[in-house]
Structure formats: C-alpha cells, structure tokens
Structure 1
C-alpha cells in the first residue's frame, strides 16, 4: 500500500504522532509544526539532491544556482551540452558531474520516466533509481519524502535525522543503526513526517544542547 501525506493531512499526522510519542509532542510544543518540505518532480530536483550528497545544503544550492545561471533552465539536453570544464566551473565534483550526466542520458533515452515513478510503490521506485550510477538509498529517501510525499520513509543514512533522533531520545553516540530502524517502526506508517519533526528540532535547537 502507498501511504502519502498532503498539505491538508500534514498537521493532523503530526498530531497523531504526538499522541503516540511524547518526545515528538515536545518538539511541536516547543517549536510548532515543521515545514512540509517539498520539491517538484523534475530533473532539476534530482540534480539538486545529487549535489546535496555528503555536503552542506548551502554548498549544494550554490552549485545548483551556478548551473542555472549558466544554462537558464536545467534540463537533460542542456546539461549534456556542457563540457566537463563548464560543469567544474559550476562547482560540480568529477563524481557528481558523471552522476548528473548519467541521469540526463537515462531520461533522454527513455530508460527512466519521472512521471511514471509517481504511481509505483516505494520499493519499485528504489529499485529503478538505485540502478542508476550515483543514486543510492539516501538520494531515493529524499526523493520519496520531498518529491512524492511518501509518508513512511525513515532515512537511516541522513546524519541530521539520526543525530536529532539521538538527542531527542537520549541515545548514546555509538547506537547501532538497527536500533534506529527498530524504534522508528513505532511511527509507522508516518515515519517521513516523524523525520520532518526531527529535522525541525535539529534546525531549531542550538547544537550544544
């Protein structure tokens, strides 16, 4: 079954999670509801997520803006016209340059259609996207959560979410990933919204506390 959330249901899902988990309730009480982060289902969005891999959000956005400044509209065809030097001037690493061009080729060649992904179960989407060079589980998690509004994703590879989880639950630094996956099952089928609450806490709370 495909679980989704919408702008109409987002707050009520937060409220339901708060009734199940006192720590999530405390986040809402202290900081209000989180933003419902969302992005359009486009090539540009996937490029943006690729750029966000293992760097700060500010660095990724800077590279995306530089690319947009150079080609105006970020499309597969326009990206493939760029030389490696031109992409390097847009702050793309050699790896991310390759990943972006590979994605562009997959879309232009018809091997991947983003509109078709909207109707597939999460597991099938993950299978299709991770078959592409440079797209791993974290990238798919962000795509499912931000773009398709799939409600039941916990991004175990996201450091901000995991660190917020540790702080909210008082878990030790060396907590194994299996513990997070097991504990997050308590939030099913709304683990995405619970994660957005964790991110909200992470962004709203000084790191030292």
Structure 2
C-alpha cells in the first residue's frame, strides 16, 4: 500500500508519534511542529538531491542556484547539452557531472519515467532509481520523503538525522545502524514524520537557516 502525507494529515501523524514516544513529544513541545519539508516531483529535484550528496546543504544549494542562473529550468536536454567544463563552473564535481548526465540520459530514453513514480511502491521506486549510476539509497530516500511524500522512510545515510537521534535518545556514539533501526521500528508507518521531527530539533538547536 502506498501511504503519503499532506498538509491535511501531517500534524495528525506528528501527534500520533508524540503519544508513542516521549522524546518526540518533547521536541514538538519545545520547538513546535516541524515544517512539512516537500519538493516538487521530477528531474530538477533529483539533480538537487545529487548535488546534496556528501556536502552541506548550503554548498549544494549554491551549486543548484548557479546551475539555475545559467540554464533556468533544469531539464534533461539542457544537462546533456552542457559540457563538463560548464557543469564544473556550476560546482559539479567530476563524479556528479557523470551522475547528472546518467540521470538525464535515463529520463530522455524513458528508462526512468518519473511521472509514473507516484503509482509505484517505495521499493519499486528504489529499484528503478538505484539502477542509475550515482543514485543510491540516501538519494532515493530523500526523493521518496520530500518529493513523493511517502510516510515511512528513515534514511540512516543522513548524518544530521543520525546525530539528532543520538542526541535525543542519548545513545552511544558508536551505536550500530541495526540498533538505530530497531529504535525507529515503533514509529512505523510514520518514520518519515519522525525523521522530520528529529531534523527539526537538529536545526533548531544549532540555529541553522535553511534556504529553499
């Protein structure tokens, strides 16, 4: 079953998690409900997510902004028309130049049909996206959470999420991924919303400004 969140149910899901978990409840009590972080479905969002791999959000957004200034709406055809030099001027590393072009080729050849993703299960989306060079589980998780608004993702490849979970639950610094997943298990089928609550705490504690 495909389950999504929206403005109509997001805070209801936050409330359900608050009843299940005192730590999540404490975050909402202190900082209020988290923003409902969403992005448009489609190619441009996947390019932004590739840019976010392994760098700060600020660095990724600077590259994305530079790309938008150069080409406007980000489409597969425009990415394929850019030289590696032009992509480098938009702060794409050599690896990310390859990833962006691989993704653009997959969309152009209809190997990926992004418009159909809303009809696919999380695992079907994961299988298709991770078949593209440079797109792994973290990028897929982020797309499922923010663009497709699926309710039950918990991306342990995300450093901010992991650190917030450790802080909130006062966990051992070297706790295993398996143990963290078992802590998140009772939050099913709303682990995406739990992740957003934990991100909210992380951002508020550090007074981080998020650009959109």
TM class, shorter-length: over 0.9
> For residues 117 and 140 of structure 2, what CA distance do their matches in structure 1 show?
11
Superposition pairs of residues 86-105 of structure 1, within 5 angstroms: 86-105=86-105
Match of 1:188 in 2: 188
How many positions carry a matched residue from both structures?
207
Taking the TM superposition and a 5 Å limit, the aligned residue runs for 1:64-75 are 64-75=64-75
Instruction: Kindly report the root-mean-square deviation, in angstroms, between the aligned alpha carbons of the 2 structures.
Output: 0.9
What CA distance in whole angstroms lies between the structure 1 residues aligned with 2:39 and 2:145?
9
CA offsets, 1:122-154, max 9 Å, x none?
Answer: 011100100000000000000000000100011
Structure 1: any 5+ residue segments left out of the alignment?
none
User: Which position in structure 2 is the counterpart of 1:106?
Assistant: 106
Give distance in 1, aligned partners of 2:146 and 2:72: 23
Counterpart CA distance in 2 for 1:206 and 1:78 is 37
Could you tell me how far apart the structure 1 residues matched to 2:88 and 2:167 are? Answer: 38
CA shift for structure 1 position 206:
3.6
**Structure 2: unaligned runs, 5 residues or longer:** 208-212
Q: TM-score normalised to the size of structure 1?
A: 0.97
Give the secondary structure class of the aligned counterpart of 1:205. helix
**Other structure's SS at 2:140 match:** helix
In 2, the alpha carbon distance for the partners of 1:126 and 1:152 equals: 13
Structure 2 length-normalised TM: 0.96
What residue number does 1:34 align with? 34
Aligned to 2:171: 171
CA shift in 2, pair 1:85/1:206, >3 Å: closer
Q: Which stretches of structure 1, 4 residues or longer, exceed 6 Å deviation after superposition?
A: none
The residue correspondences of 1:116-155 to structure 2 (distance < 5 A) are 116-155=116-155
